[in-house]
Every structure is written in C-alpha cells, then in structure tokens.
Amino acid sequence: MSERSFDAAKLRRRVRCQCVFLALAAALCVIVVLNINIGSVPIPVREIARILFLRAGDPVQLSIIWKIRLPRIAMAALLGGALSLSGFLLQTFFGNPIAGPFVLGISSGAKMVVALAMIYFLERLGSVSSWVLILAAFAGALLSMGFILLFSRRLKHMAALLVAGIMIGYICSAATDFVVTFAEDSDIVNLHGWSLGSFSGMSWDNVAVAAAVVGAAAALVFCMAKPIGAYQLGENYARSMGVNVRAFRVGLILLSSVLSACVTAFAGPISFVGIAVPHLTKRFLNSSKPLIVIPATFLCGAVFCMLCDLIARTAFAPTELNISTVTSVFGAPVVIAMMLRRQRER
C-alpha cells in the first residue's frame, strides 16, 4: 500500500466516524421529538417547539410535556447510555463479547438489594430517597460482581462464566420474588412494576440524581479510554506498556457497577442493551478505539432506549409494555447475529 492510499484509508475512517456521530445526533433529535409528540394526548410538532423554547401554550400540554414526558425521555436517554457503557466495560474486562450487566447477574443482584431496601424503608419511613436506592443497587451489583469474579478465577471458559452469571441472576430473582410475595400489599404494585423494568413515573429530582451519578461515571470512563485501549490487547501486553493493571481492573469493576446500579435503582433490570449496543456501535464505527467508541456507545444507548421506551409506551396503548420486553425483541437478534458472525470468522 502506498503512502497516498494509506492516507486515504485514514481519511475514510475519519469521515465514517463523523458520519456515525452525525447520524446518532440526528436520530437522537428525531426520537426526542417523536417521544414528545406521540402519546395518549398527541401534541403537534409546532406546539412542541413553542412549549419547549417559549414555555408558552396550552397549560395541559405544557404540564404533560414538562412534568411527564420530558423527565421520562431524559431518564431513558441517561440510563440507556449508562447501561451500554457498563456493558462495554464488562466486555473489555472479561475479554468476552457477550458479557453484560444483565447476563452476568449484576442487574439482578442490584434488583434484589434494592427490593429489600424499598420494603424496609417504605415500611419504616413511608418513603425512600433516590440516593438510598442507588447505594442499595450499588451494593447489590458489587455483591454479584464479587461472585462473578470468584468464579472467573476458576472458569476460564467464556461460556461457563456466562452460565455462572445467569445462575446468579436466577438466584437473585428468586430471592426478589420471595420478598415481593411477602411484602405489604401497598408496596407490591409499586415493586412489581419496577422489578420488571420501566421508565414510567420519573420526576425531575430522579433525573437530577441520575444525571449526576451517570455523568460523573461516564466522564471517568472517558478518562480511562487510553488504558482501555491497551487492555484490548490483553492483560499482559497492557502491563508491559505501563498500565497499572490491578488499579485499572478495580476502576473498571467499580465504574461498571455504578453505571448498572444506577440503571437498576431507577428503572429496574433492563436486558440486552448492554450487549447489543456496544456491539452495534463498534460495527457502525468499524473500529474499537475506546476514545470514539465510549461517547458513541453512550449516544447509541440513549437513542436505543428512547426508541424502545417509545414502543413500550405506544405499541399497545393504553397498556404499557415492560421496557425489557421491547429491548429483548431488538437486542436478542443482534446478539445471535453477532455470535454467528464470530463463529464464521473462526
């Protein structure tokens, strides 16, 4: 390959990368507008602009948008991004393309501890703050993660590790079901909806807390782009290039746990986003450079979750679907396609 054609290849890569970001940004805008527009009370696009930018218009519509739809959209975007990023980190950590917070049982662990905390605090205090839920979820995520790490020392095989994760997930779900069954009636409705996963009923307060946690964690992940890139060549190469592998691994574990814990605390466990989105993003970019994959994954996750939430809300309105129902329908085929493709490449 001559000097010129190589530069051309580099240019092609850059253009592709910019196109992907532009497309994702455009998709984000379109889906936000669609999400505001569609619902039990349809709001025309012209009205949306007025309400959003001038805060003027029909008071009912104004309050639907500002109090119900916008916080829900913001939350779907934030948590979708967080979940995808968490999946990306776990895949890097285990060197396993089908690792993710849901399949490794991390979401279920978080769910279990959050359910316990909810029941405990609702009984005693009648309310529970977002921070407590996040802390509980984080504790649960770390608990599952601890077991996974324990197994991963013995189970070198990638499929065995996933089976272990799925089993942990089942155990945690069983424990959750158990406590839900024996909880007070009034809590059950609330808990039951949440434990299946949903973005409904979000307030601006929730959004603020989630934004703070996810924003901080995502920024830290972005700062770790360089060692993540080295780690993609394998642990030993990373060490030989000057990565403090031990500290790096601890950082990865903590950040991915925080991200998936935050999602579980607010929206319950959501399946497949963590595996499908990072994979799709890398294919779109045709690159695995963390410096561009990290922001693109976050964006793509946000778009994906908003789209799924839109479908969950509207497909069988007025009945709302669980968010996991929709993400599974879209996410599972992506995962299967990815595995078939890898098999072929072998």
Binding residues for another protein, rule: CB under 8 A, are 1, 6, 9, 97, 223, 225-226, 229-230, 232-234, 236-237, 239-244, 282, 286-289, 291, 345
Q: Which of these, 178, 197, 166, lies nearest to 102 by C-alpha position? A: 166
Half-sphere exposure of 24 (CA within 13 A, CB side): 26
Nearest distance, CB of residue 297 and another protein, angstroms? 13
Smallest distance from the beta carbon of 6 to another protein, in angstroms? 6
* Closest distance to another protein from the beta carbon of 89 (Å): 15
Give 287 or 325: the residue with its C-beta nearer to another protein.
287
d(Cα 85, Cα 260) in Å, to the nearest integer?
Answer: 9
147 vs 248, beta carbon nearer another protein = 248
User: In the bound complex, what is the minimum distance in angstroms from residue 302's beta carbon to another protein?
Assistant: 22
What CA–CA distances, in Å, run from 12 to 213, 233, 281? 36, 24, 17
Amino acid of residue 316: F
Query: CA 173 to CA 3: how far, in whole Å?
Result: 57
Residue whose CB is less far from another protein, 317 or 336: 336
Q: How far is the CB of 294 from another protein (least distance, A)?
A: 11
Give least dist CB 49 to another protein, A.
37
The C-alpha atoms of residue 196 and residue 245 are separated, in whole angstroms, by: 37
Question: H-helix or E-strand containing 226?
Answer: helix 225-231
Cβ closest to another protein, residue 1 vs residue 189 = 1
CB atoms within 10 A of CB 17: 18
**What does the block give as tokens for 312?**
């969950």
Closer Cβ to another protein, 44 or 95, answer by number: 95
The Cα 254–Cα 259 span in angstroms is: 9
Cβ nearer to another protein, comparing 185 with 345: 345
| CA–CA separation, 104 and 166 (whole Å) | 6
Give the separation between CA 63 and CA 99, rounded to whole angstroms: 41
User: Which of 237, 122, 107 is CA-nearest to residue 187?
Assistant: 122
**Distance in Å, CB of 230 to another protein, minimum:** 5
d(CA 48, CA 73): 14
